[in-house]
Amino acid sequence: MNPLGIHALVWAGDIEPSSVELAARQTRAAGYQFLELSLHDTTQLDVDHARTTLAEHGLGVACSRGLAFDADISSDDPAVVERGARLLRESVDVAAALGARNLCGALYSALGKYAQPVTRQGYANAVDVLREVAEEAGRCGLGLGIEVVNRYETHVLNTAAQALRFIDAIGAENVYVHLDTYHMNIEETDLVQPVLDCGDRLGYIHIGENHRGYLGAGSIAFGSFFHALQRIDYRGGITFESFSSAVVMPGLCSDLAVWRNLWSDGMDLAVSARAFMQSHLRAAAATVRQVGS
């Protein structure tokens, strides 16, 4: 079965040492194999402490981040692009020091609503920067997951088809597609064909409900999605992601438009999500075996 992870924002709103300790302890207690840490504010992160803490709990780690508008590599402004490139290089160093194998997210633009489409120059800037960052990441044994997010959070990549063209332009073997069911539910025509189109270029997954609350309490057709993963023999990490204003800090709540308290008991949420994902993985595997027999 695929390794299952959980986003640290289910447990704590920051990545200070005490919060990392809490997140690691709760992640292990909830039965997950790895923890995803957001690198949106690495000034809070004690890397050595975090790596030791994760090891003590027998957990793997994945890292994710987005960019800000003043550090947007899809900008036409060279100074803004350079600030974003510097953040990505720093994030590669942090992720590698933590022992991560994946650095994922909207690595190609600011995370927020744009007023116009990406320009030809902005797109080229994002490709060029990520080609250079991928080379550095490769030397660290790190893969870059290009997360496909919805139109209200980027103007560069909103569908898996766009992401595939983007990584083709980058041309690096350690760059792959990162799909998220929350975003797919908004932008894709279904949850199956994008998975099949990505095939072995799908490298990381976020599982989130359409309202980002309890899995199974919304409208997403998870059965077809997990069946598609089985059809391509996807063996990578699957991370549960959910946000509530009860945990997420106000600034990040604003960035992610988390206006409601969808839950307050992170452990109940996490245990429920793990059982939900495992059930779908088993059902999809059984179906594929029956079809093949």
Contacts of 291 (CB under 8 A, 6+ apart): none
Our answer to whether residue 16 is catalytic in this structure is: no
- Count of CB atoms situated within 10 Å of the CB of 276: 18
Catalytic residue among 36, 153, 188, 241: 241
* Residue owning tokens 């704590």: 12
Our answer to whether residue 90 is catalytic in this structure is: no
Catalytic residue among 21, 36, 147, 153: 147
Closest CA to 57 of 21, 92, 86, 83: 21
What is the chain's Cα-based Rg?
18
Task: State whether residue 150 is helix, strand or coil.
Answer: coil
Q: Are 172 and 134 in contact (CB under 8 A)?
A: yes
For residue 7, report the phi and psi dihedrals to the nearest 5 degrees: -75, 135
List the catalytic residues.
Answer: 147, 241
